[in-house]
Amino acid sequence: MAYTQFVLVCAGTACDSCHSRAMYERLVEGVRAHGLADRVQVVRTGCFGFCAQGPVVKVLPDESFYVKVQPTDADEIVAEHLVKGRPVRRLLYSGPAPAAAVTDIPFYQKQLRIVLRNCGLIDPENVHEYIARDGYAALARVLTEMTPEDVIEELRRSGLRGRGGAGYPTWKKWSFTKAVEADTKYIICNADEGDPGAYMDRSTLEGDPHSILEAMAIAGYAVGAHQGYIYVRAEYPLAIHRLDIAIRQARELGLLGRDILGRGFDFDIEIRLGAGAFVCGEETALIASIEGKRGMPVPRPPYPAVRGLWGRPTVINNVETLANVPVIILKGGDWFASIGTETSKGTKVFALTGKVNNSGLIEVPMGITLREIIFDIGGGIKGGKRFKAVQTGGPSGGLIPEQFLDTPIDYESLAKLGSIMGSGGMIVMDEDDCIVDVNKFYLEFTVDESCGKCAPCRIGGRTMYNLLTKIAEGRGTVADIEQIQTVATAMQKASLCGLGQTAPNPVLSGLRYFGDEYRVHIKERRCPAGRCRALVTYTILPDKCIGCTLCARRCPVNCISGERRKPHIIDLTRCIKCGECFQVCKFGAVQRS
Amino acid sequence: MHEETEITSLPDRSIELPEPVAKFIEEWKDKPGNLIMVLHKVQEHYGYVPRDVAFEVAARLRVPLAKIYGVITFYHFFKLRKPGRHQIAVCMGTACYLKGGEDLIKELETILGIGLNQTTPDGEFSLEAVRCIGCCGLAPVLTVDGQVYGRLTKDQLADIVARHRGA
Amino acid sequence: MGKITLEELRELRERARAELVRREADTSGGDIIVGMGTCGLAAGAREAMSALVEELNRHGLSNVRVRPTGCMGLCHSEPTVEVRIPGMPEVIYGKVTPEVARRIVEEHVLGHKLLDDHVYDRPAPDLMSPPARPGK
């Protein structure tokens, strides 16, 4: 006899800690007691998110989603739902469902996938699977039913803003380029995803390459361009491979090339490879790089929309921005604008990583809170540690502390908090991460990636990095903080491009929200998280050490001595503070202070 | 927009380029902005950009050698020195950094007996730190010749090195 | 195939939709979809896929199609595999080692049972008009 119903019990860490095991057993028992054992299967699952609402239970095939289920509720689920087919209403999830309005599907998930609509569903190397899911239907509509003005108007209604960083309205970029009289114009897709900790664009290109090609062709039609370039990181070989296949397939079907769909519109696309320069994410630097030069930015204006690649009007949009375009054309700008907040429409894809249980690629409606992302979708902090901060916007963004977790996120609210939406890296930090250390990490990155053309960025970044190093090594003074702030202001105001202008953001947000941690580093010469090596001392507690010799054997500089079964001692003059002893000790005898 | 500087006196270093590289240059010769794509092809073939090849590229593309070196040294991706037969690249993106990417580098330095950006004397391995390779969900990660190893701990490294040695 | 016109694009779409249910090859046994983005591959998606194919072959299940897709977004539980077979709910399995892959064939495809401890939730409902699928 085959099973007809399945009861899924979340056995993730959080649910497990609140009786999901007892409930699982009770469900199994209930199913058996009611004689349903050959009809209903009860299974434990991986984490479903919603950990604050746990334990959670889902019943298939009807997709009923129960939250905060107690072991005592198990009997009711069995007796009512499984036996009589009546879901237990009081246990069904009924929280805020911001996107429920736009789908008719019972909605408990926090995510809404517009950009990632095909990722994880279609075979990216098969154009037919893309076409089966309305692929190239938007391009067909644009070429048959819409004028270029209509396309731009639809985008204006949608409220779509650039997903690469600053959030400039996409329709405006397009209309500027359209307005310029020129024999040649270009469309560039910025796929130079250099922000460490962000991989949304790579996943989109790998999972749904045709959506980008289609959007670029639509952009070309709207502004009067016939050639597109995708500037993609050389570090993404799979994305390049799949784009290459997609372009060839699209050309074969006449969806790229001359006279697309017999409508007299020509458009073709070429791939250009980046070569590992973060600054090339900046649009004027990117253009220089496509032109085969060192990727150095030039002052704007003139903006690329007017004078871009080879001096011609050029639209530059990032991958995620473009991926939205076909859906906006198909479902309408008004539909898109119904999702999100007053100023920020649609969804945002984030790469949720760091010290979070369910790291992953997520797409959420604008206006969702950080708490929902980190705790409901992300399943909370790894190992039950305390949340400390989340960094959005990568090296150009900032740290957001716990008190702002309930802020609905959009471009404006994140800017107000001193961060940015950025491309979509979202890195969660816990109590073991040191703010000074993290700030230093990002500055080291921007210093290394500064192209060196303008002095504020080249010299300012280095100066700030040196000051942070000083603080991290316990040589900091209160005056250093002031100097950091002075330099930061200069960089923000005087740097040539976004890289230098935003490089101080992480440090400024660190000072703003975690000033105490900075002060402890300066005044007490101490790193509370134990990450700043120079400020950490390792000692062995004689009453806990049993003399197993493990630490002494593992110490790379042989600075731990002691007889077997007797407490050991670390020679602090030789200790390099690698922390190996601290990690390997099974008895908690090595103390870090 | 491109430099029209004529290269008049190239030293007599003209070399034969391997067929795929020569063919690629021929194909791209007249396309604007071809230099970076050509350098990618050269590095794909040699693992780095050898000096005599750079001279040859300069001649064939009619681009000043200084411009070629300007570009090579600007971009992290291009190498001027021959890397090891196996290239170990430890990710130092944010997620990997937070989860101990640095420890992986230290351990590899011990195992291989070389520092960062160096090659073992037998030419077998080279070690470098790289920018985010976008596998943050598997942090910390490293790649050996492009193959990604994720969710790593230090004790797995000796094994991974052994697996590639001589392979 | 040569260049297509608008009409042909429409036709192609209809045909492609139908093809998702039934191609020239017999896929009446359903689909197994393997997440093969960079993360998935790094975590062992290729090994999982080979194990699935081998195990299906071993049981002579030539009517179940195994195909690749991009990232499903569940990086924490890569490799991920979605199983859609008639008579069973569509589910996503995570942390699919070759061992788990063989169990998927044994227990899910043949035994019509879900695997304990490996089911993960679909992150979001399908926004695009969902094509008819086997199993529905």
> DSSP string of chain B?
-----------S---PPPHHHHHHHHHHTTSTT-HHHHHHHHHHHHSS--HHHHHHHHHHHT--HHHHHHHHHHSTT--SSPPPSEEEEEE-SHHHHHTTHHHHHHHHHHHHT--TTEE-TTSSEEEEEES--S-GGG-S-EEETTEEE-S--GGGHHHHHHHHTT-
Q: Which residue has the tokens 């993290």?
A: A438
The CA distances from residue A438 to A106, A462, A467, A518, in Å, are 41, 16, 14, 12
pLDDT digit string (tens) for A154-174? 999 999 999 987 899 999 999
| Backbone dihedral angles phi then psi of residue A312, each to the nearest 5 degrees | -100, 155
Q: Is the Cβ pair C38, B133 closer than 8 Å?
A: yes
Cβ of C114 under 8 Å from any chain A Cβ?
yes
Q: Is the Cβ pair A362, C126 closer than 8 Å?
A: no
Mean pLDDT is highest, among A198-207, A221-230, C108-117, for A221-230
pLDDT recorded at residue B106: 92
Is the pLDDT reported for residue A557 higher than 80? yes
How many angstroms away from the CA of A132 is the closest CA of chain C?
5
The CA distances from residue B161 to B99, B113, B115, in Å, are 21, 12, 15
How many angstroms away from the CA of A586 is the closest CA of chain C?
28
Q: Which two tokens stand for residue A520?
A: 């402890």
**What distance in Å separates the CA atoms of residue A231 and residue A271, rounded to the nearest whole number?**
6
pLDDT recorded at residue B5: 47
Q: Where are the alpha helices (DSSP H) in A270-347?
A: 283-290, 319-331, 333-337
Give the mean model confidence (pLDDT) for residues A292-308: 95
What value does the mean pLDDT of chain A take?
92
pLDDT band at A268 (very low <50, low <70, confident <90, very high): very high
pLDDT recorded at residue A65: 86
Q: Are the C-beta atoms of residues C87 and C135 closer than 8 Å to each other?
A: yes
pLDDT recorded at residue C19: 62
Q: Is the Cβ pair A105, C125 closer than 8 Å?
A: yes
pLDDT recorded at residue A547: 92
**What distance in Å separates the CA atoms of residue A524 and residue A257, rounded to the nearest whole number?**
66
Is the pLDDT reported for residue C36 higher than 70? yes
Asked if omega into A55 is within 30° of 0 (cis), the reply is yes
Q: Are the C-beta atoms of residues C40 and C75 closer than 8 Å to each other?
A: no
The number of residues making up chain B comes to 167
Give the mean model confidence (pLDDT) for residues A16-44: 88
Residues in A 174-213 with any Cβ partner in C closer than 8 A: 199, 202-203, 206-208
pLDDT digit string (tens) for C5-35? 888 898 888 887 766 544 556 778 899 999 9
pLDDT digit string (tens) for A61-89? 888 888 888 888 999 999 999 999 888 88
| Chains interfacing with B (3 or more CB pairs < 8 Å) | A, C
**Long-range contacts (CB closer than 8 Å, 24 or more residues apart) made by A89-96:** A91/A66, A91/A67, A92/A64, A92/A65, A92/A66, A92/A67, A93/A50, A93/A53, A93/A56, A93/A65, A93/A66, A93/A67, A95/A53
Which chain B residue has its CA at the smallest distance from A382's CA?
Answer: B99
How many angstroms away from the CA of C50 is the closest CA of chain A?
17
Mean pLDDT is highest, among A36-50, A64-78, A200-214, for A200-214
Q: Is the Cβ pair C12, A360 closer than 8 Å?
A: no
Give the mean model confidence (pLDDT) for residues A105-115: 73
CB pairs under 8 A between A and C: 189
Is the pLDDT reported for residue A100 higher than 50? no
pLDDT (tens place) for every residue of chain B, 167 residues total: 444 444 445 555 678 899 999 999 999 999 999 999 999 999 999 999 999 999 999 999 999 999 999 999 999 999 999 999 999 999 998 889 988 999 999 999 999 999 999 999 999 999 999 888 878 888 899 999 988 898 899 999 999 999 999 77
Is the pLDDT reported for residue A92 higher than 50? yes
Q: Is the Cβ pair C82, A120 closer than 8 Å?
A: yes
pLDDT recorded at residue A51: 73
Q: Which residues of B touch A311 (CB under 8 A)?
A: 1
pLDDT recorded at residue B43: 96
pLDDT recorded at residue A105: 41
3-state secondary structure of A518: helix
Cβ of B141 under 8 Å from any chain A Cβ?
no
pLDDT digit string (tens) for A282-291? 999 999 999 9
Is the pLDDT reported for residue A184 higher than 90? yes
How many angstroms away from the CA of A159 is the closest CA of chain C?
19
**What distance in Å separates the CA atoms of residue B126 and residue B144, rounded to the nearest whole number?**
10
Angle, in degrees to the nearest 10, between helices A505-513 and A435-449: 170
pTM of the full structure:
0.90
**What distance in Å separates the CA atoms of residue A541 and residue A578, rounded to the nearest whole number?**
18
**What distance in Å separates the CA atoms of residue A491 and residue A504, rounded to the nearest whole number?**
7
Q: Where are the alpha helices (DSSP H) in A91-169?
A: 127-132, 137-145, 148-158
**What distance in Å separates the CA atoms of residue A201 and residue A339, rounded to the nearest whole number?**
21
CB pairs under 8 A between B and C: 26
* C74, amino acid identity: L
Name residues whose C-beta falls within 8 Å of residue B8's C-beta, 6 or more positions apart in sequence.
none
* Domains along chain A with CATH numbers: 5-91 (3.40.30.10), 127-334 (3.40.50.11540), 347-430 (3.10.20.600), 435-523 (1.20.1440.230), 537-592 (3.30.70.20)
How is chain B split into domains, by residue range? 19-74, 86-164
Domain C34-120 is classified in which CATH homologous superfamily?
Glutaredoxin (3.40.30.10)
pLDDT recorded at residue A11: 80
Residues B86-164, CATH architecture: 3-Layer(aba) Sandwich (3.40)
Neighbour count for residue B51 (Cβ, 10 Å): 12
Is the pLDDT reported for residue A585 higher than 60? yes
pLDDT digit string (tens) for C56-71? 999 999 899 999 999 8
**Predicted complex ipTM:** 0.88
How many Cα atoms within 13 Å fall on the side-chain side of residue A199?
33
Which chain C residue has its CA at the smallest distance from B141's CA?
Answer: C42
Q: Which two tokens stand for residue C31?
A: 């689909």
